[in-house]
Structure 1
Amino acid sequence: MRWSATALLVFALVGCSGGGEVPLPAPQTPAAFPPPATRTLAPDKAKALQEALDQIVEFPDSPSGSRGATAAVVTDHWTWSGAVGTDSRGTPLRPDTSMAVASITKTFIAAEVMLLAGKGELNLELPIARYVPHRLTANDATVRQHLSMTAALPDYQPADFARMDRAAAAAPGKHWTLAQSLDFADGHLGEPGRAYSYSNPSYVLLGMLIEKLTGQPLATALRRDLATPAGLQHAAFQDGEKPQPPAAVDNDQACGAPDGYLPCRAFASLAAAPGGLAADAPTVARWGYQLYGGRVIPADLVNQMTDGDGQYGLGTMLFTQQFGLGQAFGHRGDMPDHTSLLIVIPAKRLSIALLLANGGRSIDRRMTDLTNAVAPLLS
């Protein structure tokens, strides 16, 4: 999700007759991954992974460099995590340092919606307006179209972000509801279903859908249905939850003094559904393994999330062969002080999370360095 310069830059994505809801049909179901490993990678083998991480801080001002980075790898045989450098305030990073992981949050939103659909509580092929009446649902785009970002709902525009900046700077500690965050979205609706176009407002509407159907605040529903079953110990769905220490402190002048949120409560709540998650690299990597490995929602629902021949599935970026080792799924995220990337390569039962302590970085290159270092360790 892109914000203007003084604030957040990027969070940087079965019909039935009579309208009744039924559980989604089950296509051919891929086998779920085995449990994630608990054994850590031997130090002599982990050296190559740490060296790949260390290279990121050698030229911190380069497009793919950073002042600091953390990373984690989860497989069915071993795990690894590492850290290098500092956050924006000069505090040394640890493998368990939380950062704002921005649009990786969308994988949770999509997974929760799919879980509700699989239980028959909603129909992906019905207009989202059936569940969430709103001026931004007036074009009758379906729930599935909002998940796939084909709902023709434009993203926030520069003027929208500027208004968000001013509102947050005026009251950094304010809580904004999901509906209130949509007051800043002034784009004109188009005809849904024609083309992919990245849209953070679509994911705000999906967050409102989750709250409507579960009767719970978004953070409560995601914690109960996804984070707890997946065993995520160090994730915070802001602003319903605060990041757990240690957490990298942002250097956002509009926020004033740190208040325990990333970067502060106003921005965290404005971004809650499309990009509010704060977590450390091991947690993000474990989430990827559990989600795309079919261990937290049924594998046939995961198969729908990762289906497609374009760049986006349902709350999931499709990376084809971009990082080597096979087809990859996951999501990027971007904030002023954090760039993040989660990839899962099902053919290798491999999940990797990389978090950089700078925003707007070319993180894909650094992820490729990591996959190249991981490849010899997967025999």
Structure 2
Amino acid sequence: MQAFPEPGTAALDPEKAKVLQAVVDLAAASPDVPTGSRGATAAVVTDRWTWSGAAGTDVKGTALRPDTSMAAANIMKTFVAAEVMLLVKAGKVDLDKPISTYVQHKLTANNATVRQHLSMTSGVPDFGNDDYRELEKAVAAAPGKHWTREQALSYHTAKIGAPSKDSGYSNASYELLGLLIEKVTSQPLAGVLRRDLATPAGLKHAAFQDGEKPQPPVAVDDNDSCGAPDGYLPCRAFASAWAAAGGLAADAPTIARWGYQLYGGRVLPPDLVSEMTTKGDAPYGLGTELYPDELAIGAAYGHFGDNPDHTSLLAVVPAKKLAAAVIFADGGRDIGKAMINLTIALEPLLK
């Protein structure tokens, strides 16, 4: 692939922007259906122009703005994977060595490689339902507590298997990759990602929790385990427990810009981006979900995010030099329909 040019800085013509805003309005007008939400934000970055919009409210009734920070959750995996690839480029990590070369833990004893953890084929399954319930009880007892990755991983009781293309999605793998980054760099994860990725990409409104707090305006969460809002999404205990797997908080323009900069080969060399976005044994790249035929304007890649109060989706269409992000102020929603509608609306604007 060739690197994208500089992201555009001009705002999309207001008349043309109306068709994109209509997509956001539609999503926020349908809070009682799986494809809608009480509130939505969206953004698009191309090589020529940018656009962002908002409609509806958060759970407390506060009107959303395009720059409202919400939990982007699993999109954090794209940052962790990108940082691992930078460490590979620097010769500090070998993708095809066991992760136990860098992290000694009970979950690294099956000789799964760094690449296999990145691609969700490590044989280390996700936390089980009982694991999540026990962790939620612990969070409810002290929602303002800072959790280490080791403390979060201590709740993992699912049986470990051999590496396999059928391994499946695993937050545990990304908590281990977060440990790898901290072990290799001897620095906290948030600081490393800020220095190596967020600053070069021009991301001023991303927060790597709980090393960083979401920047205002921030949508309020309503998580039963968290109690009163504490400035984190949903609260410090959850944000730190899932820091490497799902600790990202950001607004839609920031997520779209990140997708453009990352998958456009502007923060990683294009050959490493190609490696991240190539389908391997599983239908997942390296920290990247692949969308070969879901969108109206071509094959895409990016990542989905979900937490109890927010749902998010990043999609980058390399053929169009375009990145788009959508965030809902509700969890567990079918946000893909809004992204499809957005790309349908985008198609005539790209000619």
Q: Same fold (TM over 0.5)?
A: yes
For the 8 Å contact 1:148–1:196, the answer to whether it is kept is no
The partner residue of 2:305 within 309, 325, 333 is 333
The one-letter amino acid of 1:219's match is A
Percent of aligned positions that are identical: 63
For the 8 Å contact 1:319–1:329, the answer to whether it is kept is yes
Secondary structure of the residue that 2:11 maps to in structure 1?
A: coil
Q: Aligned-pair distance for 1:327? A: 1.2
Residue of structure 2 in register with 1:201 after alignment: 172
Q: Aligned-pair distance for 1:324? A: 2.2
Q: Aligned-pair distance for 1:274? A: 0.3
Residue of structure 1 in register with 2:324 after alignment: 352
Alignment of 1:97-112 (within 5 A): 97-112=68-83
User: Separation in 1 of the partners of 2:199 and 2:123?
Assistant: 34
1:297 partnered with 2:268 = yes
1:239 partnered with 2:210 = yes
User: Separation in 1 of the partners of 2:154 and 2:224?
Assistant: 24
1:315 partnered with 2:294 = no
Secondary structure of the residue that 2:52 maps to in structure 1?
A: strand
The one-letter amino acid of 1:378's match is L
Tell me the alpha carbon deviations over residues 264-284 of structure 1, each in whole angstroms, 9 at most, x when there is no partner: 100100110000000000000
Q: Aligned-pair distance for 1:325? A: 1.3
For the 8 Å contact 2:55–2:64, the answer to whether it is kept is yes
Aligned residues: 350
1:377 partnered with 2:349 = yes
The one-letter amino acid of 2:125's match is P
Q: Aligned-pair distance for 1:194? A: 3.7
The partner residue of 1:324 within 265, 276, 296 is 296
User: Separation in 1 of the partners of 2:315 and 2:262?
Assistant: 11
Residue of structure 2 in register with 1:130 after alignment: 101
Secondary structure of the residue that 2:216 maps to in structure 1?
A: coil
The one-letter amino acid of 1:335's match is N
Tell me the alpha carbon deviations over residues 156-211 of structure 1, each in whole angstroms, 9 at most, x when there is no partner: 11100011111000000000001111001111111113424100000000000000
For the 8 Å contact 2:125–2:167, the answer to whether it is kept is no
Residue of structure 1 in register with 2:248 after alignment: 277
The partner residue of 1:53 within 19, 24, 27 is 24
The one-letter amino acid of 1:367's match is M
Q: Aligned-pair distance for 1:255? A: 1.0
Tell me the alpha carbon deviations over residues 41-96 of structure 1, each in whole angstroms, 9 at most, x when there is no partner: 01000000001110012221101110000000000000000000000111000000
Residue of structure 2 in register with 1:21 after alignment: none
CA RMSD of aligned residues (A): 0.8
User: Separation in 2 of the partners of 1:284 and 1:127?
Assistant: 31
The partner residue of 1:162 within 122, 129, 133 is 133
The partner residue of 1:363 within 319, 335, 343 is 335
For the 8 Å contact 2:29–2:56, the answer to whether it is kept is no
User: Separation in 2 of the partners of 1:273 and 1:51?
Assistant: 34
1:224 partnered with 2:195 = yes
Residue of structure 2 in register with 1:251 after alignment: 222
Residue of structure 2 in register with 1:75 after alignment: 46
Which structure 2 residue ranges, 5 or more long, are not aligned? none
User: Separation in 2 of the partners of 1:197 and 1:343?
Assistant: 21
User: Separation in 2 of the partners of 1:171 and 1:249?
Assistant: 19
For the 8 Å contact 1:153–1:199, the answer to whether it is kept is yes
User: Separation in 1 of the partners of 2:300 and 2:194?
Assistant: 26
The one-letter amino acid of 1:204's match is E
Q: Aligned-pair distance for 1:104? A: 0.3
Secondary structure of the residue that 1:351 maps to in structure 2?
A: strand
CA 1:142 to 1:371, structure 2 compared with 1: closer, same or farther past 3 Å?
same
Secondary structure of the residue that 1:308 maps to in structure 2?
A: coil
For the 8 Å contact 1:127–1:140, the answer to whether it is kept is yes
Residue of structure 2 in register with 1:91 after alignment: 62
CA 1:291 to 1:160, structure 2 compared with 1: closer, same or farther past 3 Å?
same
The one-letter amino acid of 2:302's match is G
Residue of structure 2 in register with 1:64 after alignment: 35
Q: Aligned-pair distance for 1:339? A: 0.4
Q: Aligned-pair distance for 1:130? A: 0.8
For the 8 Å contact 2:178–2:189, the answer to whether it is kept is yes
For the 8 Å contact 1:284–1:342, the answer to whether it is kept is yes
Secondary structure of the residue that 2:238 maps to in structure 1?
A: helix
User: Separation in 2 of the partners of 1:112 and 1:193?
Assistant: 24
User: Separation in 2 of the partners of 1:291 and 1:37?
Assistant: 15
User: Separation in 1 of the partners of 2:29 and 2:188?
Assistant: 43
TM-score, with structure 1 as normaliser: 0.91
The partner residue of 1:141 within 94, 112, 130 is 112
User: Separation in 1 of the partners of 2:238 and 2:210?
Assistant: 9
User: Separation in 1 of the partners of 2:133 and 2:14?
Assistant: 48
1:121 partnered with 2:88 = no
Q: Aligned-pair distance for 1:253? A: 2.2
